[in-house]
Amino acid sequence: GAGVSQTPSNKVTEKGKYVELRCDPISGHTALYWYRQSLGQGPEFLIYFQGTGAADDSGLPNDRFFAVRPEGSVSTLKIQRTERGDSAVYLCASSPHGTDTQYFGPGTRLTVL
């Protein structure tokens, strides 16, 4: 079946702009996660959804970052007033339910100039 998909695969933006990154989880998976992977590092947790609600957003670095999952399926990660330090690969993962294996998408590479 189809895996986790993320769009766009690459996004180049200018400092101060607003961006949206989309994640389509595996059908039927109730849990959805966002991670950020900087060069040479492992993925770092940003936020976790169980259904439509954000069950844990403790990894969001500041209030410029926000994520939604209005219908419990597709999720959008939103970054306002982007900074050069936001440049990274943003990974999305989904899981059948909370305590299970996470399946990752290919990521969106964000470059802030």
Q: Indicate the residue among 14 and 27 with the shorter CB distance to other proteins.
A: 27
CA angle 99, 40, 24 (to 5 degrees): 45
Query: CA nearest 21: which of 71, 84, 65, 72?
Result: 65
What is the Cα–Cα distance from 63 to 18, expressed in whole angstroms?
13
Build a one-symbol-per-residue string for 62-91: x at contacts with other proteins by CB under 8 A, - elsewhere: -----------------------------x
State the minimum distance, in angstroms, from the CB of residue 99 to other proteins. Answer: 5
Using the contact rule CB under 8 A, the part of the chain among 21-29, 53-61, 64-72, 76-84 near other proteins is 53-61
Of 8, 78, 98, 113, which one interacts with other proteins (CB under 8 A)? 98
Spatial neighbors of 4 by CB under 8 A, at least 6 apart, are: 23, 24, 25, 26, 92, 93, 94, 103, 104, 105
Residue numbers of the site for other proteins (CB under 8 A)? 3-4, 31, 33, 35, 40-45, 48, 55-56, 58-59, 91, 93, 95, 98-99, 101-107
